[in-house]
Amino acid sequence: VLTKHNDDEAYAWESLAGGSFTVKTYTGKGDGEYSADAVIRGTKVVLHLKEDQAESQDEGEKTKIEEVGSDEEGDGEKKDKKKTKKIKEKYIDQEELNKTKPIWTRNPDDITQEEYGEFYKSLTNDWEDHLAVKHFSVEGQLEFCALLFIPRRAPFENKKKKNNIKLYVRRVFIMDSCKELILEYLNFVRGVVDSEDLPLNISREMLQQSKTL
């Protein structure tokens, strides 16, 4: 293979198909080992065939080689082809992982006593079933829902224990033991209250000043 850039010397790449090759500077004038004219600019391929490969000189085979290796025809085909542009499209495959609604936001008529019992035990870590349950919601100027349980047994050290009402705001957990939600002597009641009117960034100080609460 003889090749030359416009601003560089000509080089000859030679291989005997044995897994190795040589690259040399080529200054030939059409004689010598390469038997090819000097390369002014571009690339020439010189193929030496063995005697047992003489059939490769068939005119049909030559035509095929010329058609594949012709730069001029390739340039013509490129001009005929319309220019295309690849467009990368991005998409996001979204899937809702938690499709279960909080039990206190559901219709009480659709909830079984077994479901209430399972939620009570997960909420309180009590091994016994609850004694009673009250599930209700309020709508109007003040909107909230509540799910309250009365345990089967009275807790120990009732006076020292904080209340067990968890506060949520629009299904977002805010705090445990919100004492403003229930009177002190009812601190044995367990459950959750979920408000639609309180701000999400509520604090203890804001609770004390909240008219909504």
Q: What is the tens place of the pLDDT at every residue in 57-95?
A: 555 555 454 544 445 555 555 555 666 777 777 767 666
If one counts every other C-beta atom within 10 angstroms of the C-beta of residue 169, the result is 19
Instruction: Tell me the residue type at 6.
Output: N
Please state, in angstroms and rounded to a whole number, the distance separating the CA atoms of residues 206 and 202. Answer: 6
Architecture of the 2-80 domain: 2-Layer Sandwich (3.30)
For the chain, give every residue range classified as CATH 3.30.565.10: 2-80
Q: What is the pLDDT of residues 132-166, one digit of tens each?
A: 999 999 988 789 999 999 999 877 665 556 778 99
Model-wide pTM > 0.75 = no
Give 111: exposed, middle or buried? Use CB within 10 Å, 0-12, 13-18, 19+. middle
Please state, in angstroms and rounded to a whole number, the distance separating the CA atoms of residues 172 and 26. Answer: 80
For the chain, give every residue range classified as CATH 3.30.230.80: 103-209
Q: Where are the alpha helices (DSSP H) in 53-152?
A: 59-69, 71-80, 113-124
The correct answer on CATH 3.30.230.80 for the domain covering 103-209 is: yes
Per the model's pLDDT, the better-predicted residue between 163 and 99 turns out to be 163
